[in-house]
A and B are shown apart, each in its own frame.
Chain A
Amino acid sequence: MNPFSYERAADAAAAIGLAKGNAAARYLGGGTNLVDLMRETVERPEMLVDVTGLPHGIEPRADGGLLIGASATNTALAADSHVRTHYPLLARAILAGASAQIRNMATVGGNILQRTRCRYFYDTAAACNKREPGAGCDARDGFNRYHAILGASPACVATHPSDMCVALAALDATVHLDGPDGPRSIALADLHRLPGDRPDIETELKPGELIAAVEIPPLPFARRSTYRKVRDRASYAFALVSVAAALDLAEDGTVRDVRLALGGVAHKPWRASAAEAALKGRPANPESFRAAAEVELAAATGLRDNGFKIELAKRTIVAVLGDLTGDEA
C-alpha cells in the first residue's frame, strides 16, 4: 500500500473542499473495496477523505418514496422496516451480497462506486485497460466466467459487482451528487457507463464529486418484488447472474407493470427495459416471461467461460417472474 494522508470530513462541503483540485484524492466510505485495491496497489490515492460522517439517515418521503444518506451502511438499509415492507427486492439484494461483517462497514455510496472484481484488474502483472488505458485486456481470452455478456467492448469485459445497485436500477433510483460545481442529480441507471474504449472511466461523476444521497421513488407494486442471485457457492461469492424484479398484475392475469434488472452480466447494473416493454399487457405466464427474456438477451454474447450465463439469465428471469406470479409472493 502506498503512503497516503487521511482526513475526516464533517460534512459534504468540507469533504469537497478537502478533495478539490486533487486528482489523487479519494472519498473513503467503509473501505471494503477501496482499501483492498490500495493493498494491491491498484488504487494509489495520496489522500483519503473519510465521508462516513456525512448523513446516513434513511427517511421516508411524503410521497411514499425513500431518501437514503450515502453513508448509511448496507446493514442498516437492509434492516430498515420501510425498505423491507415497500422494497423487499432491495433488502434481499443487499443481504445477498458480501458477508455480515462487510455489510456492517460498507456504505450505500461506496457500494455504488465499488469497482469490478475482475482478477486481471486486481493483478498488476496482468494487462488491463481499466487499470492502464491502452494496455490490453487479459480477461477477454482468459478466465472470464464472471464477465460480461451484455454491453461489453473489445477493451473491457468486466462486470459491475454490486447486488444493491441491481435493485436500485429496477426501482428507478436517483443519485444525488454534490461537488465543486454544486449539487446535481442523475438516474442510477445512467450513473455507470458501458466500457466502450474508456473502461477506466466507470461513472458519470465529475472530478471531486461525491454521492450525497440516493432517492427511491414510490412504487406501490414493489411490495411484490424479489431478488435472486445465482452464484458458485451458497454465500460470499459474486453473482454469475442475478435478477431483481417487481411485478404488477392486472386482475385478468396480464402484466400491468413490471420492473426488471440484471446483475453479473454487464459493466453496469443492467435495467432490462426491452424485457419490460415486451411483458406489459402480456399474460403473466412462463411463455411470456421466456419471450421477454429472449428479447433482453438477444444481443448477448459469450466469451470462453461465460456463454452459459446467457441461458442462465433467461432461466432466472423466468423463475423469478414465476415466483412473483405465485400466491406466496
Chain B
Amino acid sequence: MSAHSDAAASRPGRWQPAVTQDPLLRKHGAQGSGALGQPVSRIEGPLKVQGKARFAAEFPYEGLCYAALAFSTIPRGRITALDTAAAEAAPGVVLVMTHRNAPRMKAPSLMMSSPTAAGASDLPVMQTDEIHWNGQPIAVVLAETQEQADYAASLVTAGYAPLPAVTSFDEARKTPRQLDNILGQPPVVEIGDAEGALKGAAVQVDQIYRTPRHNHNAIELHAATVAWTGDELRVHDASQLLDLTAGQLADIFGLEADKVRVSSPYVGGGFGGKCLWDHQILACAAAKLAGRPVRIMLSREGVFRIVGGRTLTEQRVALGASADGRLDALIHTGIAAMTAHNSCPEQFTFPTRHLYAAKSVRLAQEVADMDMLANTFMRAPGESVGTFALECAIDELADKLGLDPIELRRRIEPEKDPTSGKPFSSRHLIDAYEKGAERFGWERRSKAPRQRRDGEWLIGMGCATATYPYHRFPGGAARIRLTAGGQVTVSTAVHDMGMGTATAQVQHIAARLGVPLDNVTFEYGDTTLPRGVIAGGSTQTASIGGAVIAATEVFVEELLKLAGNDSPLAGLSLADVETRDGGIGHRDDAARFESYESILRRAGRGELVCEAEAPPPAEMEAFSMHSYGAQFCEVRVSEITGEVRVSRFLGSFDAGRILNAKTATSQFKGGIIMGIGLALTEETNFDPRTGRIVNASLADYHVPVQMDVPAIEILYTDIPDPQAPMGARGIGEIGITGVGAAVANAVYNATGKRIRDLPITLDKLM
C-alpha cells in the first residue's frame, strides 16, 4: 500500500474498502435518486446512428496504406519457401513484410505477468520461420488500396517442413498438465473426502459434460490505424485494454512508455476479444518498415485465424445428496484445451467454489496442450461453460430427488462462502429465483417430462443459476475538472465497447457530485488520460467507481480549503459534508451549504482539477463478492425433427444496484442471446487432422439470428452491495451464465432427454 493510501485511510470521511461504505449509498439510499438507475439513452447514440462516431478503421491519414495478411496452412513446422515476388509485383503494392524483413521486436508478455503485459500469447510475432498454429500470419502486404492488398496477399505462396503437431483433443488429453494456479486461485480445492462421500450418498448424480470451442464474432472486425512520427507511435485501436496495449507496444518496439498513444473511443463489441493480437503489432511493424501510416482491418476469416476464442472443455460433475436434498459431496473436475504459449485455462470450476453448501468438496481442473491459436477470454470465461455442467447436474439431482429445482437450491443455499469461508457481501439468489419464478409462471411447469405439447412440438421449462464474481482492479485513476461555470469533466483511460460505460458514468458522476446530467462530461478511451483499468471480467464500472470516489474526496477537500473561513462550510472536514445540489453541504444541517460556483468565484479560481487513484480492493479480500441470477427458459422441441426453439426467456438478476435501467437490461439480454447461441448453435469446427478452423465465416459459424431469439424479460433485485462502489457489481458477463443449463434443462423437461454435449443440435434429440 502506498504512503498516499496510508494517509488516506487515516483521514476521517474517506472511503475505506471493506470497512466503510461508499458515501453515495448513504446519500441516496437503496432506491437511488436523481440520475442514478434511470433508463438514460446512450449519450453517443446520435453520433453512432449518424455515422459520426469514428471507429478504429475510419481514421484518415495522409499517405495511408492498407494491410492484408497471408496465413499459414499447417499447424506446426518451419517455412522453407516463401514466394512474395508475385505479390510485390502486383498493382499498388507498397511492400511485403515477412519474418525475413520484419523489424526486430521483443515478444509480447502474457497478460497479467506484468503491469504492462497485454499478450494473448508470448510467441514472437513474425520474427522466425517457425509456425505454431494453422492460420498464423506469414506475410503482411501493404498496398495503396484494401482491394490491392487483399489480391496481393492471395498471391503469397509458402512451402513448409511440417513438424509433428498435436491437433486432436483426444490425443492432447492423454498428457494433461496441472497449472500452478487458475487466475490466481488454486487449481485444486478439497474439503473432506468428496469421492468417499459420493459413494456413500443416498442419491447420486455423476456425469460428464462437454462444451465446444467458440469464436469471437463481434460485429466490428478487429482493426487498427497506426502512424509513426519519429519514435512516437500513434495507434487508433478497437480495444478493451488501452493502457496495457500502449505499454506492451512500447515494450515490443523498445520505446519509452510515453511515446506510445493508443485511443479507442468507440468499439463495435468486445466480449474479451478486442485485446492485443498480432494484427496491431504487425501493422505497427509494417508502418515502421514502410515509413507510412497503415490501416489494418481483419477479414471475418482473419478474425477466426488470429483472434483466439473460447476453448473446449470436458467436465465431470458428481453430486451426492441425502434424501432430503442436502449435498454430502460436490465434485467438479475436468480438462480444457490450451497451448504452451498462453495462460487461459477456462476457469470452469469457479462457479462451483461459491454457489452451494456441501459437506465435502472436490474441485480440480487441468489443461491439455494443443498446437493451436492461443485461446482467450470470451464473455464469462469459465462461468459460462462451468455453469452449464454444474446447473445441469443440479437439475438432474432435483429430478432424482423428486424436488422442484428451485426448492433444491433453497436447501443448499450456503450461509457463507462454501470454499473460502468468507461472509457474502450481498447475496439474494433465492429472492431472484422467487421473483423470476412468479413472473415466468414456473408453477405451470410439469414435474415430469413430456407432459406438454402443441401438435408436434413438445414444450418444457427449465431454470438454472447464473453467477459471476465481483472484481475491482487496482491502479485506475480519475481526474475531475470543475469549471467556474459548473461544468464537470471526469477523465480516465477506460473503454466503452458499446455497453454504455460513458452513459452510466455520466449518471454516476452527476449523482455523486450533485450536478445535472447536462453539466457532466466523461472523457475516456485515450491513454493520454489518467491511467484506467481494463474492460474485462465485468470489473470496469466498479473500478472506475473506486477511482472517482478517491478523486471526489480530494475534490471536496480542495473545495473546503478554497471555501475558507468566510463560508458556511468553515471548519468542516470531509467527514462532515456531502456533495449535493451543485455544491457542498453539511450532512445534517441543510443551512450549511455553498455551491461549487460560489466557492470557485470567491477563491478567484477559473477551475479546479483533482486526480486520485482508487484505493486497493480490500473488500475482495474480506468478503465473498458475486453477482447472482436465475435464468428461466421455455423451449419447444419438434418431436419429428428434433429442432429446438426457445419460446420464452426470463433472467432475474441480483447484481447490486443497477446504474442505468436501459443499458443494463440490454447487457443482460445480450448475454442471454449469446447464451442461447452457446446452448443451441455455436461451435467452432476445428479439424483435428490439420488444426485448421473449417467454419471461419458467419454463414457457417452459427450465432443466433433474430428468429432464434424470443422476447426476453429482465428483472433485477436492485439491492445495493454495501461493499461495492455505488453498490454496483459488474453486469457484463453474468447474462450468459446459466443460459446453457436453463435451455438444456428445459429441453429435458420437454423431451425427457438429457443433452450433456453442447450445442444441443437436432440430431442429438432425434
Interchain CB contact under 8 A, B694 and A120? yes
Does chain B have a CB within 8 A of A62? no
B677 — nearest CB in chain A belongs to which residue? A233
Determine the chain A residues whose CB is within 8 A of the CB of B761 once the complex forms. Answer: 232
Chain A nearest Cβ from B257, distance in angstroms:
40
- The proximity string for A residues 1-43 relative to B, scoring 1 for CB distances below 8 Å and 0 otherwise, is 1110000000000000000000000000000000000010100
CB contacts under 8 Å to B, within A309-329, are 311-312, 315-316, 318-319
Chain B nearest Cβ from A102, distance in angstroms:
10
Q: How far apart sit A46 and B642, CA to CA, in the bound complex (Å)? A: 46
- The proximity string for B residues 691-716 relative to A, scoring 1 for CB distances below 8 Å and 0 otherwise, is 01011110110101111100000000
Interchain CB contact under 8 A, A234 and B708? yes
Interchain CB contact under 8 A, B692 and A232? no
Does chain A have a CB within 8 A of B681? yes
A-B contact pairs, 12 of them (CB 8 A): A1-B150, A3-B91, A125-B692, A126-B692, A142-B687, A232-B681, A232-B702, A233-B680, A233-B704, A236-B705, A311-B766, A319-B456
A237 — nearest CB in chain B belongs to which residue? B702
Interchain CB contact under 8 A, A312 and B766? yes
Determine the chain A residues whose CB is within 8 A of the CB of B695 once the complex forms. Answer: 119, 143
A-side interface residues toward B, CB under 8 Å? 1-3, 39, 41, 117, 119-120, 122-123, 125-126, 138, 141-143, 230, 232-237, 240, 308, 311-312, 315-316, 318-319
Q: How far apart sit A312 and B640, CA to CA, in the bound complex (Å)? A: 8
Determine the chain B residues whose CB is within 8 A of the CB of A125 once the complex forms. Answer: 73, 692
Chain A nearest Cβ from B567, distance in angstroms:
64
Determine the chain B residues whose CB is within 8 A of the CB of A234 once the complex forms. Answer: 645, 705, 707-708
B763 — nearest CB in chain A belongs to which residue? A308
Determine the chain B residues whose CB is within 8 A of the CB of A143 once the complex forms. Answer: 685, 687, 694-695
Does chain A have a CB within 8 A of B762? yes
Determine the chain A residues whose CB is within 8 A of the CB of B697 once the complex forms. Answer: 122
Interchain CB contact under 8 A, A117 and B700? yes
Determine the chain A residues whose CB is within 8 A of the CB of B607 once the complex forms. Answer: none
CB contacts under 8 Å to A, within B639-674, are 640-643, 645
Does chain A have a CB within 8 A of B442? no
Chain A nearest Cβ from B82, distance in angstroms:
15
Does chain A have a CB within 8 A of B154? yes
Partner among A1, A236, A319 whose Cβ is within 8 Å of the Cβ of B640: A319
Q: How far apart sit A246 and B150, CA to CA, in the bound complex (Å)? A: 47
Q: How far apart sit A240 and B681, CA to CA, in the bound complex (Å)? A: 14
Interchain CB contact under 8 A, B706 and A235? yes
Determine the chain A residues whose CB is within 8 A of the CB of B424 once the complex forms. Answer: none
Q: How far apart sit A122 and B700, CA to CA, in the bound complex (Å)? A: 11
Chain A nearest Cβ from B438, distance in angstroms:
29
CB contacts under 8 Å to A, within B588-643, are 640-643
Does chain A have a CB within 8 A of B174? no
| Known A-B contacts A1-B151, A232-B762, A237-B702; A316 and B640 likewise in contact (beta carbons under 8 Å) | yes
Does chain A have a CB within 8 A of B444? no
CB contacts under 8 Å to A, within B177-217, are none
Q: Is the interface of B mostly helix, strand, loop or mixed?
A: loop
Determine the chain B residues whose CB is within 8 A of the CB of A141 once the complex forms. Answer: 689
Interchain CB contact under 8 A, B151 and A2? yes
Q: How far apart sit A117 and B640, CA to CA, in the bound complex (Å)? A: 26
Partner among B151, B687, B708, B766 whose Cβ is within 8 Å of the Cβ of A233: B708
B-side interface residues toward A, CB under 8 Å? 73, 91, 147, 150-151, 154, 456, 640-643, 645, 680-681, 685, 687, 689, 692, 694-697, 699-700, 702, 704-708, 761-763, 766
Q: How far apart sit A25 and B766, CA to CA, in the bound complex (Å)? A: 46
Interchain CB contact under 8 A, A233 and B641? no
Interchain CB contact under 8 A, A312 and B685? no
Interchain CB contact under 8 A, B456 and A1? no
Interchain CB contact under 8 A, A142 and B766? no
Nearest 10 A/B pairs, CB to CB? A234-B707, A125-B73, A308-B763, A235-B707, A143-B685, A234-B708, A119-B694, A230-B641, A319-B640, A41-B154
Chain A nearest Cβ from B517, distance in angstroms:
38
Interchain CB contact under 8 A, A240 and B685? no
Determine the chain A residues whose CB is within 8 A of the CB of B700 once the complex forms. Answer: 117, 119
Interchain CB contact under 8 A, B699 and A117? yes
| Known A-B contacts A142-B689, A319-B640; A233 and B699 likewise in contact (beta carbons under 8 Å) | no
Chain A nearest Cβ from B63, distance in angstroms:
24
Chain B nearest Cβ from A257, distance in angstroms:
24
Interchain CB contact under 8 A, A233 and B762? no
Interchain CB contact under 8 A, A233 and B150? no
Determine the chain A residues whose CB is within 8 A of the CB of B708 once the complex forms. Answer: 233-235
Partner among A2, A41, A230 whose Cβ is within 8 Å of the Cβ of B762: A230
Q: How far apart sit A122 and B694, CA to CA, in the bound complex (Å)? A: 9
Determine the chain B residues whose CB is within 8 A of the CB of A319 once the complex forms. Answer: 456, 640-641
Determine the chain A residues whose CB is within 8 A of the CB of B645 once the complex forms. Answer: 234
Determine the chain B residues whose CB is within 8 A of the CB of A119 once the complex forms. Answer: 685, 694-696, 700
A119 — nearest CB in chain B belongs to which residue? B694
Q: How far apart sit A319 and B642, CA to CA, in the bound complex (Å)? A: 13
Determine the chain A residues whose CB is within 8 A of the CB of B766 once the complex forms. Answer: 308, 311-312, 315
Determine the chain A residues whose CB is within 8 A of the CB of B705 once the complex forms. Answer: 233-236
Chain B nearest Cβ from A273, distance in angstroms:
24
Determine the chain B residues whose CB is within 8 A of the CB of A316 once the complex forms. Answer: 640-641
Interchain CB contact under 8 A, B694 and A233? no
Q: A125-B692, A315-B641, A319-B640 are in contact. List 14 more A-B contacts (CB 8 A).
A: A1-B151, A117-B700, A119-B685, A120-B694, A123-B694, A123-B696, A143-B685, A232-B762, A233-B680, A233-B708, A312-B641, A312-B766, A316-B640, A319-B641
Chain A nearest Cβ from B552, distance in angstroms:
48
B700 — nearest CB in chain A belongs to which residue? A119
Q: How far apart sit A126 and B697, CA to CA, in the bound complex (Å)? A: 15
Determine the chain B residues whose CB is within 8 A of the CB of A3 once the complex forms. Answer: 91, 151
Determine the chain A residues whose CB is within 8 A of the CB of B147 once the complex forms. Answer: 1
Q: How far apart sit A316 and B694, CA to CA, in the bound complex (Å)? A: 28
A98 — nearest CB in chain B belongs to which residue? B699
Interchain CB contact under 8 A, B694 and A142? yes
Determine the chain A residues whose CB is within 8 A of the CB of B702 once the complex forms. Answer: 232-233, 237
A311 — nearest CB in chain B belongs to which residue? B766
Q: How far apart sit A105 and B251, CA to CA, in the bound complex (Å)? A: 49
Q: How far apart sit A233 and B708, CA to CA, in the bound complex (Å)? A: 7
Q: How far apart sit A235 and B645, CA to CA, in the bound complex (Å)? A: 11
Determine the chain B residues whose CB is within 8 A of the CB of A122 once the complex forms. Answer: 697
Q: How far apart sit A143 and B686, CA to CA, in the bound complex (Å)? A: 9
Interchain CB contact under 8 A, B692 and A123? yes
Determine the chain B residues whose CB is within 8 A of the CB of A235 once the complex forms. Answer: 705-708
Determine the chain B residues whose CB is within 8 A of the CB of A240 once the complex forms. Answer: 762
Chain A nearest Cβ from B689, distance in angstroms:
7
Q: How far apart sit A319 and B700, CA to CA, in the bound complex (Å)? A: 27
B646 — nearest CB in chain A belongs to which residue? A234
Q: How far apart sit A123 and B700, CA to CA, in the bound complex (Å)? A: 12
Q: How far apart sit A112 and B104, CA to CA, in the bound complex (Å)? A: 52
Determine the chain A residues whose CB is within 8 A of the CB of B692 once the complex forms. Answer: 123, 125-126
Determine the chain A residues whose CB is within 8 A of the CB of B643 once the complex forms. Answer: 230
